[in-house]
A and B are shown apart, each in its own frame.
Chain A
Amino acid sequence: MKPAIMPAVFGLLVLTLWESAVRINGVPEYILPSPTAIIMALWTSGPELLGALAVTLQVTVAALILAAVTGAGIAFALAQWKTAEQTLFPYAVFLQVTPIVTVAPFIIIWVENIFVVLLILAWMSAVFPIISNTLLGLKSADANLKDMFRLYGASRWQTATRLLAPSALPYFLGGLRISGGLALIGTVVAEMVAGTSGTYSGLASRLMEASYRLELARALACFVLLSATGFALYLLLDALSRRLLRHWHESARHES
């Protein structure tokens, strides 16, 4: 209870100051809308913006699932074959450090379907933390347990599913929590760069449109929705992680 009160009070305080500053100084809405104006915009355009959010979320969630599956798969492959890791891991790092904005123009040229364009770009933003975390988890499996499996004649498959995968799970979930936010950021950036409109118009493209038209209250309403979505995504993935690890991992220890 208590920890939730302090941020709430702080937030209210900031919003009140903002509201009064805008009203007292008579700041026009196309420079800085007041919080009540943003709430009005949220209210009036609510259904339409939620529709756009659904489009954005569709890409984000699809990209995250794809990143989870491919990231875990790539990590497993790299862990099984040392040469593969030495050969390919530098390219995974490359994927991570390259700003996706710079790749977007090429993807847009090569791929026709806009959903697939957005998906590729969001996946590229999200996949690396999953690869690197899962790889770390696979490598940190207990050495004595590995010997135990060897002693009892475990097959490669048995060792992978019964020892390596559970050892890597907490690390994988840690990566997934980071990647959730990155997938959303990736989708938003991709929407902005791709300049999607009409048929495939997500919340980020609405934000851009609104800001071009100087409808700042509406633009900020989009912003609020996107932030809230990112936050909710994090909470969701955190809850998932706690649930999966509740019996055994320290990170999930103080759950009620």
Chain B
Amino acid sequence: MSESAIRLNRVAKTFPNGTVALSPVTLSIAPGSFTSLVGPSGCGKSTLLRLIAGLTEPTAGAMTRTARPGGTSFVFQDATLMPWATVADNVALPLRLAGVADIKTKVDEALERVGLAGFGASYPRELSGGMKMRVSIARAVVIGPELLLMDEPFAALDEFTRFKLNDDLLALWQNNRWTVIFVTHSIREAVFLSDRIVIMSPRPGRVVADMAINLPQRDADLRLGHDFADQCARVSAALGDAMHAGAAA
């Protein structure tokens, strides 16, 4: 394996109020990989993502990242758009903050990629939940991110919309090979998208299982096959063990 995109060495986080959100986590992420992070609510997944993004500091351990400054994008569970700005202005935000040139071309291209060409002049409130999430993804990818962090991005969407967005995200990633870390509660979603699934224990979170997902030819038909069902069963069993491990500890 080449140099890691991210390397966490016994990284831990205790909040000032005494909550131990993460017990030491050691993890290394390969460049261009798609890793899903699953685990029970409150086990520290969001905290881990925020640590990797540099939005909060670890209380112990060390972290290294290869992504250039400003080369990391974050997608939240809520689309987190500026309601006062048009779709185009929302997508342009990271470029404007960085003072990049040729914004319009890049924004149009990003909107095209998420299937929203022609919606640049709309305001967020005119869009459905799925479309808002697409805008959020366009804003994340417009900078050509080296690292894309996604925190339960599709959890608030209906199943149909979610499948569609999964398909489109998969296609985007296959074409661009950003390093992605994806938090989800859905085992099917994780298996469908990832080449690696990391399972965390109940709080304080630590890594209890780390499994590679090997599936041939990923596309929308994949969900129908036996391989897919087998992998889901395997992850589900591991997650069950993880909960036990947490309860016993």
Contact = CB atoms under 8 A, between A and B. Distances in A.
Interface of A: 142, 144-145, 147-154, 158, 162-163, 166, 169, 247-249
Given A148-B74, A148-B80, A151-B53, A158 B97 contact: yes
B178 interface: no
16 contacts: A144-B80, A147-B50, A147-B53, A148-B74, A148-B93, A151-B72, A151-B74, A152-B143, A153-B69, A153-B70, A153-B98, A162-B96, A247-B84, A247-B123, A247-B125, A249-B84
Contacts of A147: 50, 53, 55, 74
A150 B78 CA distance: 17
A137 to B, nearest CB: 12
A158 B92 CA distance: 14
Contacts of A247: 84, 123, 125
Across the A-B interface, the 9 shortest Cβ-Cβ residue pairs: A248-B83, A144-B80, A166-B84, A152-B97, A152-B94, A248-B84, A247-B123, A154-B97, A144-B76
A204 B76 CA distance: 56
A151 B85 CA distance: 19
Interface of B: 50, 53-55, 69-70, 72-74, 76, 78, 80, 82-85, 93-94, 96-98, 123-125, 143
A150 B57 CA distance: 14
Contacts of A154: 97
B70 A163 contact: no
A152 B54 CA distance: 11
Given A152-B98, A153-B97, A153-B98, A248 B74 contact: no
DSSP majority for the A interface? Answer: helix
A248 B98 contact: no
A86 B93 CA distance: 33
Given A247-B123, A248-B123, A248-B125, A151 B55 contact: yes
Contact of A166 (B50, B55, B82, B98): B82
A254 B203 CA distance: 46
Contact of A152 (B70, B78, B80, B123): B70
A154 B50 CA distance: 17
A149 to B, nearest CB: 7
A145 B82 contact: yes
Nearest to B122: A247
A27 to B, nearest CB: 56
Nearest to A169: B84
B15 to A, nearest CB: 15
A248 B87 CA distance: 12
B124 to A, nearest CB: 7
A68 to B, nearest CB: 19
Contacts of A166: 82, 84-85
B186 to A, nearest CB: 21
Given A151-B72, A249-B83, 18 more contacts: A145-B80, A148-B74, A148-B93, A149-B97, A151-B54, A151-B55, A151-B73, A152-B93, A152-B97, A153-B70, A153-B98, A154-B97, A162-B82, A163-B82, A247-B123, A248-B83, A248-B124, A248-B125
A168 B93 CA distance: 19
Nearest to B151: A144
B126 to A, nearest CB: 9
A248 to B, nearest CB: 4
A148 B50 CA distance: 11
A144 B50 CA distance: 11
A128 to B, nearest CB: 26
Contacts of B50: 147
B72 to A, nearest CB: 6
A247 B97 CA distance: 23
Contacts of B143: 152
B55 to A, nearest CB: 5
B104 to A, nearest CB: 18
